[in-house]
Amino acid sequence: MKPIVQLLGTIALAMMVVAVWVFAAGDRQTLVPPPDAVAEGFLRQLTTRRYDRVDSYLSYARRDWRAPALRRQFDPLWRYTGEVNQVDGELVSIDGDNARAIATARGQAADARVLFVLIREHGLWKIDGLSTNPPLPPEPLR
C-alpha cells in the first residue's frame, strides 16, 4: 500500500509543477491547440461541407460568416480539387497574439492551400481572415 501512496504523491507533485509552469510562467501553448491545428480543423470542416459547424473556429469579428455564404464560396473550390483525401496544417508564424498558418486540402484532382490569419481571443486561437490558392470567387463572405 505504501508504494502506491508514494507513487500517487509523486504524480500529484509532478502535476503541480506543470500547473505552476503553465499558469505562473505564462505558457500559452501547452493546453491550447496551436494555430496550425485550428486552421486544419476549420478546413477539415469545410472540406466535409459541415459549414454550420465552424463558428467555434471564428473570431468574434468573423462570426458573421454564415453557412450559406461559406457554401457559395467553397463549393467551387471542392469541385476544383475533387474529393479531398487529406488536410494538413502548417504554422507560418506567431507574433504575440497574432499568427498565420497554412492548411492544405489534398484532393483527387488538385490541392488547395488556404492561408489563415489568426488572433488570440480569451486565450484561444481564432480565425480572423483567410485567402486561398486557387482564389475563391470574388463574392464576399457575408
| pLDDT tens digits along 40-75 | 999 999 999 999 999 999 999 999 999 999 999 999
Per-residue CA distances from 21 to 5, 30, 31, 45 (Å):
24, 10, 12, 33
Is the omega angle on the peptide bond into residue 134 within 30 degrees of 0, that is, cis? yes
Q: How remote is the C-alpha of 83 from its chain's centroid?
A: 21
Answer yes or no: is pLDDT of 22 > 60: no
- 2 falls in which pLDDT band (50, 70, 90)? confident
pTM reported for the whole predicted model:
0.76
Give whichever of 24-38, 87-101, 127-141 has the largest mean pLDDT: 87-101
